[in-house]
Amino acid sequence: MKKLLYISLLAILLSASISCSRSVDKRLVLADTLMWTNPDSSLAILNTINRDSLQGDENQAYYALLLTQAQFRCNIPLTSDTLISKAVDYYSDNHNREHYTRSLLYKGGYYEFSANQPVEAIKWFKQAEDNADTTDYRNLAQINMRLAMLYFKHYASNNLDLEKFKKSLYYYEKLHDKRMSLLASMYIASLYRITRKDTAELLYDKAQALAIELKDSSQLYQSITGKALLYLVDSSYVDAKDCMLQALSLSNGKMENSHYFILSEAYSKLGLVDSSEYYFNKVDLNSCNSYDSVMFYRARKELAIAKGDFASATKYENNYLNLTDSLEHNKEKYELSKFESDFDNERIASKAKKVTSLNKIIYYLVALFLVFALVTVALIIVISRKKRKDQQQMIDELKEENFGNYEELRSNLADFDNHFSKTMNERLKSLEEIMTGAYNPNQDSKSSEVEHKISPIADDDTKFWEGLYAYINIKHNGAMDRIANDYPQLSASDLNFIKLMCCGFSDAAIAVCRNYRNVASVRGRRRKIRDKMGIEGNLTDYIRNITVR
């Protein structure tokens, strides 16, 4: 008893430990819920967790994913992709589709920001997009935003950046995420500046309204400067200048380099050279990036034209064109666009291959089903024909009998129990009707009908079998008593079978009365009874010898 108790306790402890190892750490769940709204708090929670204390591979992978995501959200650069790779490896064989999508997304983020490998980053982003569920709006929004930013930064061709920004805006609006919708709207507006100026202006107005609603002065500044550049491209120089002065008031007198260049260019276009030079000289040329350099040559060209220095203007124009159309940029455009196209083509080809394989499987299953159906129909036909053949054989055998063989049995029934007499007479009458068909070729169908009307004599029809038992004992000097006493191993059903044999019923008659499928079944039953009795020779001869004593 104690041993059984110890085993039960051990089983309970093992079950509890397995359950604990499979449960997700509540601290990780809390960190995840705060990830998007308050990433600093999420990172603080994760930093308090001792990774070695986490139980199970699931918690380890979840921690790796969340810590990588929190560092991205808090703009902390990663030194390697070791951590996020553990999450990717774990979730690739796991059924958590959302976590796997996120792992692929932030693996791509590592290559975009830390490794500075845009093509490799796109590879992981595209895998994340391919894996994401269609209702996973948050991850789909992030994936498309990251792809759009990569294409935007590297001047990808075929409007890939515009396509991805529009998709990200669609998903952010589904999420009611106003801050990210604002950001996506501004990027789309910047890409529409040349081709669809009215749409771009509406998007900038939308972004400006969202920035005011969110009380985000930084984004308000960006939406106003974006609109100023739109006016500059549209040759609305007064509007461009007014927007830039409004932005200047929001920036506390310190604007980005490119925005000073825009203001300088607007003043140059208006012929106000002094104001143009004033704002041009406020730029810290040592801190200019590649985009600032493009705007530098534009502003410098317009200022030279305003001064009448056309030779310098031509030089700055050439510098501007060389910078924007450099071979390096063209190479990057080709690589990024080609990778997107190649990835999509491979995905389409892979799906087509799967569909083809599925169609082949369906074809084979249909063919197999048809073969099975044909075989089944053939078996039904064969079995049906055999059944009809067996029935006809029984009828033929009955027809060959002389119903005079049963006259003696009929004449002796009057002295016995009414139920037994009535039942036996019914069987004899039906059998004789079938036999009569032998003398009339047109009686075959009728004989078949009669044969089907004969209900089998059930083993539980006690009155009939007791009456038949008594009749055989009287007729044949206690033959049934001798058989029952000498062979106690025989069942009631076996004895009932022997009773019909004692009355002189042929195999065909027994088959009809006992509802056997065919005459062969009667012969098989006779052999089994003989084996039970352990007698040599023919059972029919043995029964005949007993009944003549």
Q: What confidence tens digit (pLDDT) does each residue in 376-401 have?
A: 888 888 877 777 777 666 666 666 66
Q: Among residues of the chain, what percentage have pLDDT more than 70?
A: 79
- pLDDT category, 536, cuts 50, 70, 90? confident
Q: Would you place residue 443 in the very low, low, confident or very high pLDDT band (cuts 50, 70, 90)?
A: very low
Residues with Cβ < 8 Å from 19, sequence gap 6 or more? none
Poorest-confidence range of 124-138, 148-162, 192-206? 148-162
Range from 26-40, 211-225, 253-267, 331-345 carrying the lowest mean pLDDT:
331-345
Mean pLDDT, rounded, of the chain: 82
Looking at per-residue pLDDT, the higher value among 258 and 139 belongs to 139
Residue 66 reports pLDDT greater than 90: yes
CA nearest neighbour of 266 among 291, 252, 248: 248
The whole-number pLDDT of residue 240 equals 93
Q: In whole angstroms, what is the distance from residue 257 CA to residue 273 CA? A: 19
Cα radius of gyration (the chain) = 49
Return d(Cα 104, Cα 143) in angstroms, integer: 10
To the nearest 10°, the Cα dihedral for 303, 305, 311, 316?
50
CA distance linking residue 183 with residue 145, whole number of Å: 10
Looking at residue 12, its pLDDT comes to 42
pLDDT(450) > 50 = no
SS3 535: coil
Percent residues over pLDDT 90 in the chain: 39
What is the rounded average pLDDT of the residues 489-494? 89
Side-chain-side CA neighbours of residue 270 (13 Å): 19
Of 416-420, 471-475, 479-483, the range with the highest mean pLDDT is: 479-483
The whole-number pLDDT of residue 10 equals: 45
Residue that wins the pLDDT comparison between 442 and 232: 232
Cβ neighbours of 333 (radius 10 Å): 17
pLDDT at position 343 is 63
Please give the average per-residue pLDDT across 80-91, as a whole number.
94
Report the distance separating Cα 287 and Cα 290, nearest Å: 10
Q: What is the pLDDT of residue 462?
A: 79
- For 205, the token pair is 């107005």
Whether pLDDT at 480 is above 90 = no
Tell me the C-alpha distance between 513 and 424, whole Å. 10
Q: How many CA atoms lie within 13 A of 541 on its CB side?
A: 4
pLDDT at 286: 84
Using the predicted structure, report yes or no on whether residue 99 has a pLDDT greater than 90: yes
Which residues make Cβ contacts (< 8 Å) with residue 518, sequence separation at least 6?
387, 390, 391, 393, 394, 511
